[in-house]
Amino acid sequence: MSTKASLLLQKQLAHLKKHPIEGFSAGLIDESNIYEWQIMIMGPSETPYEGGIFYATLTFTPEYPDKPPKMKFTSEMWHPNVYKEGEVCISILHEGEDAYGYEKANERWTPVHTVESILISVISMLSSPNDESPANIDAAKEWRSQREVFNKKVQRIVRKSQDA
């Protein structure tokens, strides 16, 4: 039985296949499960991630688009807004009110977001980390105060991603 979520996800997948966006590609991990997507992101040019090929999963719930998906890098990633286990932490993937008042309501999840808008936000995150609200405190500290060390770690990850 098709739900609102599965129909919307099928439509978004078809749109991305017909109109690919530079910088990423998306597809289903298993054709029988519309809720689990594999994402491939090219490291944005003029960033430490340039030349990298990074894989991630997007996991949707049947409540999509009312609830955001979860995104997790399956490739190694060193970034202030990515937990050490790979989960992406950006405003667009957070639902509801921010209990700490850090994120404005218009920066958080709303049902108008699409797979495309999520991935564009993730590419933007790679280009310009938010080190004020880090998921990976060690990466954020390096980003702020030891940029050369940070960049060397990322370059190693980029080289590794090219061999995968």
The rounded mean pLDDT for the chain is 91
Where in the chain are the domains?
A: 4-163
List 5, 41, 89, 92, catalytic entry: 89
Helix orientation angle between 137-145 and 147-163, rounded to the nearest 10 degrees:
120
Multiple choice CATH, 4-163, 1.20.1250.20, 3.40.50.960, 3.10.110.10, 3.90.380.10: 3.10.110.10
What proportion of the chain, given as a percentage, has pLDDT over 90?
Answer: 77
Q: d(Cα 4, Cα 146) in Å, to the nearest integer?
A: 47
Task: Give yes or no: 42 in active site.
Answer: no
For residue 35, the number of C-alpha atoms closer than 13 Å in the C-beta half-sphere is 14
Q: d(Cα 96, Cα 162) in Å, to the nearest integer?
A: 38
pLDDT at 126: 96
- Asked which of 23-37, 59-73, 106-120, 136-150 is least confident by mean pLDDT, the reply is 106-120
**In contact, 74 and 56? CB cutoff 8 Å:** yes
pLDDT at 2: 62
pLDDT at 104: 62
